[in-house]
Structure 1
C-alpha cells in the first residue's frame, strides 16, 4: 500500500500576485508608475510613483486577501484608484500632472525635487 501525499494550496505565490497587480494597474491606469513589493510574511505593498514626493505612501493587500486572481485584481484596481483620488489625479490614463496634495499624508513630509 502506498502513502498518499496531500499538498495544501495557499493561493497565488508572491511573484504571481505581484505580476498580476502590476499588469492590471498598468492596464487600468496607464502612464502612472506603479511599484509592487512583496512583504516579509506575505502580502503586497503598492505605491504610485507620482506620489513619491509624499514619502512611503501606498496601500497593502494582505496575504489573506490574495486567494484568487479575480479578487486580487478587483482589490488592486480599487486601491490604485483610491490613491489617485487622494492625490487629486484622474482615474484612467495619467494626464501628465503631478499632485500638489495627498489626502491622508502629512504635508510636512513632502519632498520637493
Structure 2
C-alpha cells in the first residue's frame, strides 16, 4: 500500500498492528481482486454528486440529533445543507456549492423550504 509521497508502506502505520499482520494486509490488498475493487470504487466515487462531510453519520441521523437539540425548527433541508458543508460553513468544493444552491432554489420554488 502507498503511504506519504506515494511510497510503498512496508512498515505498520501504528504500534497496535504487528509486522506480520501488516504484511498479510499488504498482500491481501495487493491481490488482483482487491485492486480491481479499489479501482471500481474509485471510479464510483468520482461520480458522486456532492461531497458529504458528516463522516460516517448519515444525514437522517444528523437531522434527528439536531431536531432533538433544537426542536422542530431544524429542517431536513438544513440537515442536507449542513451535511455538505465544512465545519466553518464553507463548501468543500464548487461542485458541492453549486448543487446545494440548486437544492435550496428548487425547495424555495416549490415552497418546501421549511420541510
Report if TM-score (shorter chain) is over 0.5. Answer: no
Q: What TM-score, normalized by structure 1, do the two folds share?
A: 0.24
Structure showing the higher strand proportion among its residues: 1
Between Structure 1 and Structure 2, whose CA radius of gyration is higher?
2
Name whichever structure is richer in helix by fraction.
2
TM-score by length of 2: 0.24
